[in-house]
Amino acid sequence: MPFRPPNQHAITPQGRGRFPGFDVLDQAHKWDDVTAGVVLARLALPNMLSFFTTHEVGIAAPMLDLLLAQDDDPRVPVLGLIDTRLATAETDGWHYDDMPEDGQAWRETLAGLDEDARRRHGKGYAELASKDQARLLQDVQDLADAGESWHGWTANHVWSLWTRYATTAFYSHPWAWNEIGFSGPAYPRGYLNPGINTREKWEVADHDDVDPVPFARRVERARKCDDDLSGGNSGE
Protein backbone atom coordinates (compact mmCIF):
# COMPACT_ATOMS: atom_id res chain seq x y z
CA MET A 1 0.00 0.00 0.00
CA PRO A 2 1.30 3.50 -0.70
CA PHE A 3 0.96 4.61 2.92
CA ARG A 4 2.80 1.69 4.51
CA PRO A 5 6.01 -0.17 3.59
CA PRO A 6 5.64 -3.98 3.52
CA ASN A 7 7.89 -4.36 6.58
CA GLN A 8 5.52 -2.23 8.67
CA HIS A 9 2.58 -4.61 8.68
CA ALA A 10 0.68 -5.19 11.95
CA ILE A 11 2.82 -2.90 14.09
CA THR A 12 1.79 -2.66 17.74
CA PRO A 13 3.28 -0.45 20.47
CA GLN A 14 6.52 -2.11 21.59
CA GLY A 15 5.55 -5.18 19.57
CA ARG A 16 2.91 -6.18 22.11
CA GLY A 17 -0.53 -7.32 21.11
CA ARG A 18 -3.17 -9.97 21.62
CA PHE A 19 -4.32 -10.19 17.99
CA PRO A 20 -1.40 -11.62 15.99
CA GLY A 21 -1.24 -10.53 12.36
CA PHE A 22 -4.14 -8.10 12.70
CA ASP A 23 -3.58 -4.75 10.98
CA VAL A 24 -6.39 -2.21 10.90
CA LEU A 25 -4.74 -0.55 7.90
CA ASP A 26 -5.66 -3.57 5.79
CA GLN A 27 -9.14 -2.05 5.79
CA ALA A 28 -8.07 1.51 4.94
CA HIS A 29 -9.34 1.15 1.38
CA LYS A 30 -12.84 0.68 2.82
CA TRP A 31 -12.85 4.03 4.62
CA ASP A 32 -14.17 7.22 3.06
CA ASP A 33 -11.48 9.62 1.83
CA VAL A 34 -11.83 12.14 4.64
CA THR A 35 -11.63 9.49 7.36
CA ALA A 36 -8.68 7.78 5.70
CA GLY A 37 -6.88 11.10 5.41
CA VAL A 38 -7.33 11.88 9.10
CA VAL A 39 -6.22 8.45 10.30
CA LEU A 40 -3.29 8.04 7.94
CA ALA A 41 -1.97 11.50 8.82
CA ARG A 42 -1.29 10.14 12.31
CA LEU A 43 1.33 7.84 10.77
CA ALA A 44 3.28 10.72 9.24
CA LEU A 45 3.51 13.51 11.78
CA PRO A 46 5.81 16.48 11.04
CA ASN A 47 9.43 16.03 12.12
CA MET A 48 9.39 19.37 13.92
CA LEU A 49 7.10 20.11 16.86
CA SER A 50 5.09 23.32 16.70
CA PHE A 51 3.87 23.88 20.27
CA PHE A 52 6.29 22.50 22.83
CA THR A 53 9.67 24.12 23.33
CA THR A 54 12.85 22.03 23.37
CA HIS A 55 12.98 22.34 27.15
CA GLU A 56 9.34 21.25 27.51
CA VAL A 57 9.95 18.26 25.24
CA GLY A 58 12.68 17.08 27.63
CA ILE A 59 10.08 16.98 30.41
CA ALA A 60 6.99 15.85 28.50
CA ALA A 61 8.58 13.03 26.48
CA PRO A 62 9.75 10.87 29.43
CA MET A 63 6.66 11.78 31.45
CA LEU A 64 4.34 10.54 28.69
CA ASP A 65 6.41 7.38 28.23
CA LEU A 66 6.01 6.67 31.94
CA LEU A 67 2.28 7.36 31.93
CA LEU A 68 1.74 4.91 29.06
CA ALA A 69 4.51 2.40 29.92
CA GLN A 70 6.10 3.00 26.54
CA ASP A 71 9.59 1.89 27.47
CA ASP A 72 10.74 0.64 24.08
CA ASP A 73 10.16 1.09 20.36
CA PRO A 74 8.00 1.12 18.37
CA ARG A 75 6.25 3.86 20.34
CA VAL A 76 3.00 5.58 19.46
CA PRO A 77 4.11 9.21 18.85
CA VAL A 78 1.97 10.56 21.66
CA LEU A 79 4.02 13.72 22.15
CA GLY A 80 3.71 14.64 18.48
CA LEU A 81 -0.03 14.01 18.48
CA ILE A 82 -0.53 16.19 21.56
CA ASP A 83 1.72 18.88 20.11
CA THR A 84 -0.40 18.98 16.95
CA ARG A 85 -3.59 19.32 18.99
CA LEU A 86 -2.24 22.14 21.14
CA ALA A 87 -0.65 23.98 18.20
CA THR A 88 -4.02 24.12 16.47
CA ALA A 89 -5.97 24.78 19.70
CA GLU A 90 -7.85 21.50 19.27
CA THR A 91 -8.82 21.12 22.91
CA ASP A 92 -11.74 19.34 24.55
CA GLY A 93 -13.65 22.62 24.57
CA TRP A 94 -13.51 23.09 28.35
CA HIS A 95 -11.03 23.37 31.17
CA TYR A 96 -11.09 23.33 34.96
CA ASP A 97 -11.88 26.63 36.70
CA ASP A 98 -8.67 26.52 38.74
CA MET A 99 -6.47 26.00 35.67
CA PRO A 100 -5.71 28.03 32.55
CA GLU A 101 -6.71 26.88 29.07
CA ASP A 102 -5.13 23.58 28.11
CA GLY A 103 -2.12 24.87 26.17
CA GLN A 104 -1.00 27.15 28.98
CA ALA A 105 -1.90 24.49 31.54
CA TRP A 106 0.47 22.08 29.84
CA ARG A 107 3.29 24.63 29.91
CA GLU A 108 2.77 25.51 33.57
CA THR A 109 2.33 21.95 34.84
CA LEU A 110 5.44 20.76 33.00
CA ALA A 111 7.30 23.65 34.64
CA GLY A 112 5.94 22.49 38.00
CA LEU A 113 7.25 18.97 37.42
CA ASP A 114 10.64 20.40 36.48
CA GLU A 115 10.61 22.56 39.61
CA ASP A 116 9.96 19.48 41.75
CA ALA A 117 12.94 17.76 40.16
CA ARG A 118 15.26 20.71 40.83
CA ARG A 119 14.04 21.07 44.41
CA ARG A 120 14.54 17.39 45.23
CA HIS A 121 17.49 16.41 43.04
CA GLY A 122 19.20 19.65 42.09
CA LYS A 123 18.68 19.14 38.36
CA GLY A 124 15.92 19.22 35.78
CA TYR A 125 13.37 16.49 35.16
CA ALA A 126 14.92 15.62 31.79
CA GLU A 127 18.26 14.91 33.47
CA LEU A 128 16.94 12.45 36.05
CA ALA A 129 17.10 8.69 35.97
CA SER A 130 13.83 7.06 34.96
CA LYS A 131 13.13 5.80 38.50
CA ASP A 132 13.42 9.34 39.88
CA GLN A 133 11.20 10.70 37.11
CA ALA A 134 8.66 8.00 37.96
CA ARG A 135 8.81 8.88 41.68
CA LEU A 136 8.01 12.55 41.01
CA LEU A 137 5.19 11.59 38.68
CA GLN A 138 3.84 9.14 41.25
CA ASP A 139 3.79 11.93 43.82
CA VAL A 140 1.35 13.87 41.65
CA GLN A 141 -0.93 10.84 41.31
CA ASP A 142 -0.78 10.20 45.05
CA LEU A 143 -1.78 13.80 45.74
CA ALA A 144 -4.60 13.44 43.22
CA ASP A 145 -5.82 10.27 44.94
CA ALA A 146 -5.73 12.06 48.29
CA GLY A 147 -7.71 15.05 46.99
CA GLU A 148 -4.85 17.44 47.69
CA SER A 149 -3.23 20.27 45.74
CA TRP A 150 -0.04 20.49 43.74
CA HIS A 151 1.59 23.84 42.95
CA GLY A 152 -1.67 25.59 43.71
CA TRP A 153 -3.85 23.47 41.44
CA THR A 154 -6.14 20.60 42.35
CA ALA A 155 -3.79 17.65 41.80
CA ASN A 156 -6.59 15.56 40.35
CA HIS A 157 -7.16 18.20 37.68
CA VAL A 158 -3.49 18.15 36.71
CA TRP A 159 -3.50 14.36 36.56
CA SER A 160 -6.66 14.47 34.47
CA LEU A 161 -5.08 16.92 32.01
CA TRP A 162 -2.04 14.73 31.48
CA THR A 163 -3.79 11.39 31.30
CA ARG A 164 -6.71 12.67 29.22
CA TYR A 165 -4.44 13.97 26.49
CA ALA A 166 -2.06 11.01 26.72
CA THR A 167 -4.73 8.32 26.37
CA THR A 168 -6.64 10.21 23.68
CA ALA A 169 -3.48 10.48 21.60
CA PHE A 170 -2.43 6.88 22.22
CA TYR A 171 -5.77 5.32 21.29
CA SER A 172 -6.21 7.53 18.24
CA HIS A 173 -3.28 5.80 16.55
CA PRO A 174 -3.61 2.72 14.28
CA TRP A 175 -0.81 0.90 16.12
CA ALA A 176 -2.85 1.04 19.33
CA TRP A 177 -5.87 -0.20 17.37
CA ASN A 178 -3.80 -3.20 16.26
CA GLU A 179 -2.90 -3.89 19.88
CA ILE A 180 -6.54 -4.02 21.03
CA GLY A 181 -7.99 -5.57 17.88
CA PHE A 182 -10.08 -2.50 17.01
CA SER A 183 -11.26 -2.61 13.39
CA GLY A 184 -11.26 1.12 12.88
CA PRO A 185 -13.95 3.36 11.41
CA ALA A 186 -17.11 1.46 10.59
CA TYR A 187 -18.37 3.96 8.03
CA PRO A 188 -19.14 3.23 5.24
CA ARG A 189 -18.21 -0.45 5.53
CA GLY A 190 -20.43 -1.32 8.50
CA TYR A 191 -20.64 -4.54 10.48
CA LEU A 192 -22.60 -7.61 9.41
CA ASN A 193 -22.16 -9.97 12.37
CA PRO A 194 -23.28 -8.25 15.57
CA GLY A 195 -23.44 -10.32 18.71
CA ILE A 196 -21.31 -11.74 21.50
CA ASN A 197 -18.10 -13.40 20.33
CA THR A 198 -18.92 -12.90 16.66
CA ARG A 199 -16.30 -11.55 14.27
CA GLU A 200 -16.15 -10.10 10.82
CA LYS A 201 -13.89 -11.82 8.29
CA TRP A 202 -11.25 -9.12 8.73
CA GLU A 203 -11.11 -9.46 12.54
CA VAL A 204 -8.73 -11.73 14.47
CA ALA A 205 -9.41 -13.78 17.60
CA ASP A 206 -7.70 -12.82 20.85
CA HIS A 207 -4.83 -15.28 21.32
CA ASP A 208 -4.81 -14.71 25.10
CA ASP A 209 -8.44 -14.62 26.15
CA VAL A 210 -7.79 -13.50 29.72
CA ASP A 211 -9.31 -10.38 31.24
CA PRO A 212 -6.36 -8.02 32.03
CA VAL A 213 -8.29 -5.98 34.61
CA PRO A 214 -7.71 -8.31 37.63
CA PHE A 215 -3.98 -8.34 36.87
CA ALA A 216 -3.94 -4.54 36.66
CA ARG A 217 -5.64 -4.33 40.03
CA ARG A 218 -3.00 -6.60 41.55
CA VAL A 219 -0.28 -4.37 40.11
CA GLU A 220 -1.93 -1.30 41.61
CA ARG A 221 -2.20 -2.93 45.03
CA ALA A 222 1.46 -3.92 44.88
CA ARG A 223 2.43 -0.39 43.91
CA LYS A 224 0.68 1.07 46.94
CA CYS A 225 2.37 -1.45 49.22
CA ASP A 226 5.85 -0.92 47.79
CA ASP A 227 8.01 0.63 50.50
CA ASP A 228 10.30 1.97 47.80
CA LEU A 229 7.52 4.31 46.69
CA SER A 230 6.76 5.68 50.15
CA GLY A 231 8.77 8.90 49.84
CA GLY A 232 7.27 12.27 50.66
CA ASN A 233 5.07 14.17 48.24
CA SER A 234 6.17 17.40 46.65
CA GLY A 235 2.98 19.43 46.63
CA GLU A 236 2.51 22.80 48.21
The residue type of 184 is G
Instruction: Classify 95 as helix, strand or coil.
Output: coil
With pLDDT > 70 as the criterion, what percentage of the chain qualifies? 86
Cα–Cα distance between 234 and 128 in angstroms, integer?
A: 16
How do the domains of the chain map onto residue ranges? 16-204
pLDDT digits (tens, 9 = 90+) for 38-87: 999 999 888 889 999 999 999 999 999 999 999 999 999 999 999 999 99
Q: Is the pLDDT of residue 130 over 90?
A: yes
Q: Is the pLDDT of residue 179 over 50?
A: yes
With pLDDT > 90 as the criterion, what percentage of the chain qualifies? 67
Note the pLDDT of residue 216. 62
**33 DSSP assignment:** H
Q: How confident is the model at residue 193 (pLDDT cuts 50, 70, 90)?
A: confident
Q: Is the pLDDT of residue 171 over 90?
A: yes
Q: Please list the helix, strand and coil fractions of the chain in percent, rounded to the nearest 5, in that order.
A: 55, 0, 45
Q: Is the pLDDT of residue 215 over 70?
A: no
Prediction pTM value: 0.85
Cα–Cα distance between 55 and 227 in angstroms, integer?
A: 32
Note the pLDDT of residue 98. 94
Note the pLDDT of residue 175. 96
Instruction: Classify 153 as helix, strand or coil.
Output: strand
Q: How confident is the model at residue 155 (pLDDT cuts 50, 70, 90)?
A: very high
Note the pLDDT of residue 95. 94
Mean pLDDT of 92-100: 94
Cα–Cα distance between 214 and 139 in angstroms, integer?
A: 24
Instruction: Give, in order, the Cα–Cα distances in Å from 196 to each of 63, 193, 200, 204.
Output: 38, 9, 12, 14
